Amino acid sequence: MSRPRRAPAPPVTGLREGLVVSAHGRHCVVEPPAGERVICHPRGKKLAVVVGDRVRWLPSQDEGTIERIDERRNLLYRQDEVRTKSFAANLDQVLILLAAEPEFSEHQLARALIACEAEHIAPLIVLNKADLTESFSRAWQRLAPYRAMGYAVLPLAVKPRHPHPGPLPPVGEDAENATPVASRVLPALRLGERAGVRGGPATPPPFAFDELLTRLRGRTTLILGPSGAGKSTLINRAVPGAAAQTGEISQALNSGKHTTTTTTWYWLDGEKNSALIDSPGFQEFGLRHIDPMQLAAYMPDIRPHVAECRFYNCTHLHEPGCGVAEAVKSRSSAGGISANRYKIYSDLFTELKSNA
Ligand SMILES: Nc1nc2c(ncn2[C@@H]2O[C@H](COP(=O)(O)OP(=O)(O)OP(=O)(O)O)[C@@H](O)[C@H]2O)c(=O)[nH]1
Ligand SMILES: [Zn+2]
């Protein structure tokens, strides 16, 4: 005998649309298409809202209740030793802000790129402090493998120590001779693409803030980077009235104390077509949801060599007849894999395997 079926819950009526512009644990700030921002509380513990979520909410006095989260296009995570937490959704682009100084961690960069790959989000690497010519040249060179992989890398001096610095010095021969892999960025990103931004010559093109603004236009971009790279400086320059916008969130929350430590949404234009999401922290990018056997597919320098492996389930760590291991041996040639990148792969594989 079949069990009696429970009657479906009646649809909630009077739901309003809204965009989550900041999230603070059990409450968040929602921006309706028209009207004032409202503090909302998700209904039920399982409803974990993040910045960028499109939600359906019900007003109740001066606050609101989130009833539903619309389907997400993508979702990014952070992690610490014990926990993984989602923190931003529905992104078009992730701007990874690095700088000539302090020296950036390639490991952290790789993690951010892998997270983007896994969620089909276009990454944009920006190398700031181009006015610090010597350290900038070194950092630009360290990014050569990433340009060769087809990633967009943009030079920038968002707040030069001496305004109007001269042209950048050449940064020597590097992976520019390597053939960039087929374009992996979204077609729209190719608009306004200039020679030298991807793949391109060893000497970076003159750094222009306008180029960056063009790439932000019409998109929702998450910006993240290590401390000291110039993120606050960049946001203050790119976002008209940044302080006012954070102020609005603080006002909605009736407190200023949360707003600097959480992920925050900024509109770049009055029409609300372009947005920048500021996210503090970098090292703790969450990758635990990734299957270690998928990792190679998210690393564009490693991916093409997987087809050459003898075993279909090769981990590329110790198997005979491994195409990836071969490419590491021939790392200086075009299409080779650098020792650094292989180390990043094997470390991450081990980390993901131990989590699984
Ligand atoms: N030389 C030089 N210095 C810069 C440039 N952009 C930013 N800075 C300086 O770098 C330092 C760090 O900049 P911030 O904007 O505070 O960096 P941040 O990434 O927000 O750092 P946290 O606040 O620690 O997260 C400041 O002293 C800036 O003035 C640049 O293009 N060239
Ligand atoms: Zn292999």
CATH of the domain at 62: 2.40.50.140
Q: Which ligand is nearest to the CA of 223?
A: 1
> In this structure, is residue 212 part of a structural domain?
yes
Q: From atom 24 of ligand 1, which residue's Cα is the shortest distance away?
A: 227
Tell me whether residue 344 is in a domain. Answer: yes
Cα first-last separation, the chain: 40
Ligand 2 centre distance from Cα of residue 308 (Å)? 7
| 232 annotated as belonging to a binding site for a ligand | yes
**pLDDT of 204:** 55
**In a shared domain, residues 83 and 28:** no
Nearest to 261 by CA among 38, 9, 2, 78: 78
Asked which of 69, 101, 132 is the last residue of a domain, the reply is 69
Q: Are residues 252 and 330 in the same domain?
A: no
> Does residue 200 form part of some domain?
yes
Mutate to test the pocket of ligand 1, among 231, 233, 276 (most ligand atoms within 8 A of CB): 233
Task: Give the model's pLDDT for residue 283.
Answer: 57
pLDDT in tens, 296-351: 999 999 999 999 999 999 999 999 999 999 999 987 667 789 999 999 999 999 99
Same domain, residue pair 156 and 304: no
The protein residue whose alpha carbon is closest to atom 25 in ligand 1 is 227
CA distance 85 to 281: 13
Q: Which two tokens stand for residue 68?
A: 């539903």
Q: Are residues 117 and 261 in the same domain?
A: yes
- What is the CATH classification number for the domain harbouring 143? 3.40.50.300
Taking ligand 2, which is a single-atom ion, which protein residues have CB atoms under 5 Å away?
309, 314, 316, 322, 324
Cα 158 to middle of ligand 1, angstroms = 8
pLDDT digits (tens, 9 = 90+) for 72-115: 999 999 888 788 888 999 999 999 999 999 999 999 999 999 99
Dihedral angle at the C-alpha atoms of 28, 33, 35, 41, nearest 10 degrees?
-20
Confidence of residue 8 (pLDDT cuts 50, 70, 90): low
Single residue among 52, 69, 86 that ends a domain in this structure:
69
Going from the C-alpha of 129 to that of each of 142, 147, 152, the distances in angstroms are: 15, 18, 17
Q: Within a domain: residue 3?
A: no
Both 156 and 262 in a single domain? yes
Q: What is the pTM (predicted TM-score) of this model?
A: 0.84
Angstrom distance (rounded) from CA 154 to CA 88: 23
User: The complex's ipTM?
Assistant: 0.97
CATH of the domain at 320: 1.10.40.50
Our count of domains for the chain comes to 3
Same domain, 273 and 125: yes
Residues spanned by the domain of 40? 16-69
Identify the residue whose C-alpha is closest to ligand 1 atom 13: 230
Q: How far apart are CA 147 and CA 151, in angstroms?
A: 5
> CA of 266: how far to CAs of 156, 181, 195, 219, 220, in Å?
21, 34, 30, 12, 10
Angle, helices 209-216 vs 231-238, to 10°: value is: 70
What DSSP line would sit under 4-68, residue for residue? Answer: PPPPPPPPPPS-EEEEEEEEETTEEEEE-SSS--EEEEESSTT----BT-EEEEEEETTEEEEEE
